[in-house]
Structures are given as C-alpha cells and as structure tokens.
Chains A and B, each alone.
Chain A
Amino acid sequence: MLDFDYSFLAEVLVGGLLSGVMYSLVAIGFVLIYKTSGVLNFAQGAMLLFAALTFVSLVERGAPFALALLITFAIMVALGMAIERVVLRPLVNKPPITLFMATLGLSYVIEGAAQLAWGTQVHGLDLGIDDTPFEVAGILISKFDLFAAAVAATMVAFLTAFFRYTRIGLAFRAVADDQFAAFAVGLKLPRIWATVWAAAGAVALVAGLLWGARLGVQFSLSLVVLKALPVLVLGGFDSILGAIVAGLLIGATEKLAEVYIGPFFGGGIESWFAYLVALAFLLVRPAGLFGQKIVERA
C-alpha cells in the first residue's frame, strides 16, 4: 500500500457510481408502487423481462425501432393496469405480506407468459449506443453508462415534475401520505393505482431495455431485482430520491469493497456486501436515507 494507486481508486469509484445508476433504474419501479399502495412489487423483475423480451422480439420480427418501442410501451401500460385491476384491487386492505406474495405469484405468471409468447431464446439487444470506453484523465468511462445515467436523470426529473405539478401527481402524493384521507376527500384510488402501475410498467420498459442491452435479453434479466433490493432498503422504499442516492452509494461501496476488501476473503463478496451495508445503515437509521419515519407496515 506504499504507493497507493489513486487513479485506480478513482476508476473503481466512477465505475461503481455508474453501475449504481443501473441499480437505481430498477429500484425506481419498486418505489413508485410502494409509495402509493404499500406493495413491495417483486414482479418488477418479471415485468422488466417481459418488456425487454417483447421489444426485442418485435424488432426481430421486423418492426422499426420506434414502432416497437411504442407497441411495447402500450403493452406495458396495459399490463400494469391489468395487474392493478385483476390482482391488486381484490386484495386491497390485505396485510402487506399477502400483497407481496401475490406479486411473487404474479412474477411466475408474467415470466411464464413472456417465455410462452416469445420463446426461451437468448437475444442480443442493440440500442445503437456503443459500450466502448473513452478516457478522461486516465479513467475509462463507457458511453453506454453515461447514456444510462442521462436516461435515469431524465426519468427522475420527469417523475418529480409529474408529482409536483400535475393534478394526478398531487393526488398521488395525497394517496401516498394517507390512503384513507385521500379516499375520504373523494380521490378515486383505483384510478390512481392504475396510473401508478402503468407508470411502473413504463419504468420497467426503460430499465429492461438498458439492462437488456447490457446482459442480453434472457431469463436472468429478472434477477436484477436482487441488485435493487439493498438499494431500496438503504434509500427507503418510498423515496425516489432515496433510490437514486442509495443506488450510487451501493454501487460505489460494492465495487470498492470487491476490489479492496474482497481479496482478503478470496473475492466474490459483492453478492452480500450491499446487503450488509444497507443493514448496517438501517441499524442506525431504521427508515433508510429518505424513507418515511413510519415503517411499521407488517
């Protein structure tokens, strides 16, 4: 450690932060739904897979990029609304664990349906953005990562604006604050939930395309939720800002730990280290970084 390689440290840090953005993208989908309906939607991963698989299959069948995107978007919105109508509405006011289990069942259905409709083949997905690096002060940065970060930033800006300035967005926040009060003043909860599920579908599409371009479109795509969970714990289940900040934090610590601490244990510690960080943090601040103080849901 005599001549510590600071540029390498910087490189790991930057790489970690950019990976973190990718985690946040997935986490945002969870937050949207949790915030308004208190459901930890485990099917988000399956939705991601479904979106990417639908898109790539349409493109392979000759649909132009924009059209495929539009159709997939429409399908995802329809799927989100259908889930709300068929699965969630009958389960209103059930304990959170029941809702969680329902989304687990849902992920079976969506995964099965996606593969039944489009097959189990592994597809490549090319968004037209090269995953090639360029050098900034000796540090390699991937164009694709920057693109993903830009998309994430746009999405967050859009969602924030939506919540703050539109009527339905305000209704959203009212529901998030207090479902019963919102209901009492005449807000139509089902409509709001349908909107939020549709939005989650759209977020799944964005995350699915970005992750799909990186991993290939295949079954394992649904496993990226495991990367999003510690981010959620750290950031709070109900904060979009938290999801972003925690994503960056988790990405960075995870990579730094793997590179600098990993070798002492023979490596591969990434799989649980993020959870450990989240856990340690929670013991100090039980609601996460930006989560609401009241977390006694289950």
Chain B
Amino acid sequence: MTMIPFLFAPWRPAVSYFGSLRTIARTAVLAISFAIPIAAPAKAAEQYFPLQSYRVGPYAAGGTGFFGGFIDYLNLVNIRDGGVNGVKLTWDECETQYEVERGVECYERQKSHPAIAAWNPLSVGIAYAMIDRIAQDKTPLITINHGRTDSTDGRVFPYVFPLLLNPYSETSGIINYIAGKEGGLDKLRGKKIVVLYHGSPYGKETIPIYELLAQKYGFTVSQIEVPHPGNEQQAQWLTIRREKPDFVVLRGWGVMNPVALKTAQKTGFPVDHIVGNVWSNSEEDVIPAGSAAKGYVAITTQASGAEYPVLQEIIKTVYGAGKGNLDDKKRIGSVYHNLGIVNGILNVEAIRIAQEKFGHRTLTGDEVRWGFEHLRLDEVRVAALGAKGLFHSINVTWDNHEGDGRVTFQQWDGAKWKVVSDWISPDWALLRPIIEKSAAAYAAEHGITPRTAADAETASR
C-alpha cells in the first residue's frame, strides 16, 4: 500500500479534467502534443525521417535490428559526408509495438514535422492504414520487401514503394531456386511442394501465385495453414510427413519459424529441404530452434555479414564514435540490421537523385517520390556505395515501384548465414498482368484515374 500515494498523487489532478471540463483536458493534451515535436525546430537544410519503430512487443527483435540499421546508415551519412549535399538527415522514433492504431497515432503525430522524406514502417498493417493518408499528404511510403503487392503498379499507387521484392516476386524467386536445385524449371514436373503458411492475411497472400506456378510448371502444391501464433504445429507436420513432399516452403512469422524447424526435426523431415521466405530468414528465426535449424535455407534480398565496405565504415565511423544504435554489437551484420542498412541506402540515394533534379536543398515529399521513381542503382553504383555483394541492384521507374530486385538464398550453418546461390531474378513478366489487374480493381473501387508518365515527371513543391 505504501506505493499508492506515490503513484496516486500526480494522478489526482488529471481526474478532475475529465467530465465537466473535458475541454480543458483536451486542450492540455493538445498543448503537450504540439509542444513536443516542435521542441526540435527545423533547421534550414534538413530532411526528416519519421520512424514508426517497434522495440517492444512480440516483434521487437526485428524492429531493433531494422531500425538500428536504418539509423546507423543515416548516422554514417551525417558523420562521414555531413548529410546529403549538405542537407542533414534527421529522424525521431515513435514506438508502435507493431500495432496498427499505434502506428496511425504516430503518423498523425509525426506528420506535422516539416521536411518529411519518406515513411518506413516495416509493418504491413500500418502500411495499409497509411496508404490513404500518404496519398493525400503526398509523401512516399516505403515498404521494403513487404507490403501490398499491387502497389508495385505506380500508375495507381504513386506514393507507395514495395522496394526490392513484393510477395509475388518472392514466390516466383523461391520456385526458381527450387527449380535450380532440381536441375531446371522443366524438372519441376511431378514434384511435390508443401507451403506452410501463417494463418493471417500476410500468410494467405501468395496462395494463388503458388497455384499458378504449379499449373505452369506441372508440380503439385499443397498449402497448409498454421494458426497464429504458431506455437503448436504437430498436426501440420504430421500431415507433411504423410504427404512426403520434395520441398517445404515456410511462409512463417515470428515464433512460428523456430517451431516449424523443431517440429520438422521431430517428425523426421530433412531441414535442408525447407525453404524459408523473407520473413522467415533472420537469426531470430533460427537461433531458438538450435541444432534443428542447421542446414535450413531461406530467401533474402540482402546478404548478411559485416564484411562489406559500408558495414566496415559504419563500424569504424558510427560505432567508433559511440553513436551505434545496436546495444548488442554481435548483431551488426545480422539479417534485419543489413536490411535496415540497405533500406537506408535506398532512401538516401532517392534523396540524392531527387536533389540533382530539384536542387541541393530540403525536398518536399513529392520531390522525394520523384527521386524514388528514378532510383536506378546498377552494380557499379552499388559497389561505389560500398555494398557490392550486400544487395544486387535496383531499377525503380514511375510505373514499376518494386524495381526488379534480385534475390539470393542463404543457408544457416548453426552460427551464421552463408549465401548458397547466385542472384536470382523472379519471373516479373508472368506476374505483372496479375498485379495490374489487381491495381486496376483498386483504382475502380476508389475512383482513381491511373497516372501517366507525364504526370509522374512533375513534382509539387
């Protein structure tokens, strides 16, 4: 009982706000809400990143890695180059716990900050809730490796960028990899693949694409759902054991991944015939599975490891100056950390490209959108950025917001990931009509007239 006065004292006055003088309470809240973001006044030349990060809750491990890498790269650009052509990069974090309504609150809170470059929520749910809002506010929304597949069609979604890899391309990339293992696409005929997917909209999204590819290449596919959160998979893996597939594709999420690997071991399925998707490919997914994960293969758009020049510079310049974002230095070069760094590179380069057109100054969100739509980083440029081997290349255009990202496959050796394939291209030509059809349906439902190339060239100040 002794703690009550302590907690209660500051509480009492707050109670009297509510009710008769509700307005006062709201005004007070209003005052607090505006006092804080404005506490850091915008300098002459800055470009601001609102970060809807998640360092708490079930997905905290991914959030700390990704946003850690992103911030580390922004810090590198600031410390090493003094920003982008003299324009300082700034940011602040708003914790979402991966919950949509917290993400929306963060959006409403952070959008009042001037000079926003782009939003990077790394959450499908939050990204969906923002699509409407960012289109109105004309700021880009980056959903690297995830997000809404049909937002690849930049004609209908001018401000949404599922950079590097959308879920459909991921599916095609995985099948192409399996084909490579079997000796060619024609060898897929008669094979059997099981897709084990998370029981959520995310998990279900690729069902029709696996069906389509199965038809096209003549393999049989059977797709099995694991209910959220996936901490029990005995039934699913026994079914798999009965079906005796050649490969299992793991389309998992969070705790579902290590449990899948452990249960596979328990039911005698060989781990090196399990191929993980892009949300089943991190250290956090395999470490809890212990030895059961050894030999597991997963897709990725960026290699892991700290041997790349850009990471070495981050270690030297950023962590050397005591400004590194990761508490645990062992996580430098981990999958999520490197994804954050690649995300940082893409954001910064989009700004740089846009600055060449609009001038070396603070840009509007719409101008940064133009930058993303001209984000062409070939292998030479990627090497110059110190990221040779970290990721392959990207080529975003006004109507292709994914940018032809290549994928590679990595195998867990019990301690770290090792790349085991070349850079593989998904079958974009096959997928594009499906994406366009879905985007057209969205446009019709929302009364959107698709843009033309000429519309995309102009950007509002």
Contact = CB atoms under 8 A, between A and B. Distances in A.
A292 interface: no
A239 B287 CA distance: 37
B64 A120 contact: yes
Interface in B238-279: 238-239, 241-242, 254-255, 258-259, 262, 265-268
A124 B255 CA distance: 12
A60 B227 CA distance: 32
Given A223-B229, A268-B225, A268-B226, A259 B239 contact: yes
B227 A270 contact: yes
A262 B1 contact: no
A187 interface: no
B288 interface: yes
Given A5-B242, A8-B238, A268-B226, 5 more contacts: A8-B242, A120-B61, A215-B231, A255-B238, A270-B232
Contacts of B258: 124, 215-216
A271 B235 CA distance: 12
Interface residues of B, number: 42
A227 B231 contact: yes
A122 B288 contact: yes
Contacts of B55: 120
Contacts of A173: none
Interface in A238-297: 254-255, 258-259, 262, 266-271
A164 B7 CA distance: 43
B328 A121 contact: yes
B255 A216 contact: yes
Nearest to B59: A219
A219 B328 contact: no
Interface string A142-156: 101100000000000
Interface string A129-147: 0011100000010101100
Contacts of A269: 227
A216 B292 contact: no
A125 interface: yes
A123 B288 contact: yes
Contacts of B229: 220, 223
A119 interface: yes
B289 A219 contact: no
Contacts of B290: 124, 126
B231 A90 contact: no
Interface in B410-443: none
Given A120-B55, A215-B255, A270 B235 contact: yes
Counting from the closest, the 10 A-B pairs by CB-CB distance are: A216-B288, A268-B225, A120-B60, A258-B235, A271-B227, A220-B255, A267-B225, A122-B284, A15-B234, A268-B199
A125 B291 CA distance: 11
B400 interface: no
B392 to A, nearest CB: 28
B150 to A, nearest CB: 23
B56 interface: yes
Contacts of B265: 131-133
Given A90-B1, A115-B56, A268-B226, A217 B288 contact: yes
Contact of B266 (A121, A140, A217, A262): A140
B317 interface: no
A178 to B, nearest CB: 28
B57 interface: yes
> Interface SS of chain A: helix, strand, loop or mixed?
helix
Contacts of A145: 266
B224 interface: yes
Interface size class of A (residues with CB under 8 A): 35 or more
Contact of A214 (B3, B238, B262, B284): B262
A245 B327 CA distance: 46
A124 B64 contact: no
A39 interface: no
B359 interface: no
B235 A220 contact: no
A131 B266 CA distance: 6
Nearest to B228: A271
Interface in A16-44: 16, 18-19
B176 interface: no
B431 to A, nearest CB: 24
B58 interface: yes
B236 interface: yes
Nearest to B236: A258
Interface in A80-102: 86, 90
Interface string B341-380: 0000000000000000000000000000000000000000
30 contacts: A8-B238, A8-B242, A11-B238, A12-B235, A115-B56, A120-B55, A120-B56, A120-B61, A121-B284, A124-B287, A132-B265, A133-B266, A140-B241, A211-B231, A215-B258, A218-B255, A219-B57, A219-B58, A220-B229, A220-B231, A220-B254, A220-B255, A223-B255, A255-B234, A255-B235, A258-B236, A259-B235, A268-B226, A269-B227, A271-B199
Nearest to A270: B227
Contact of A122 (B235, B262, B287): B287
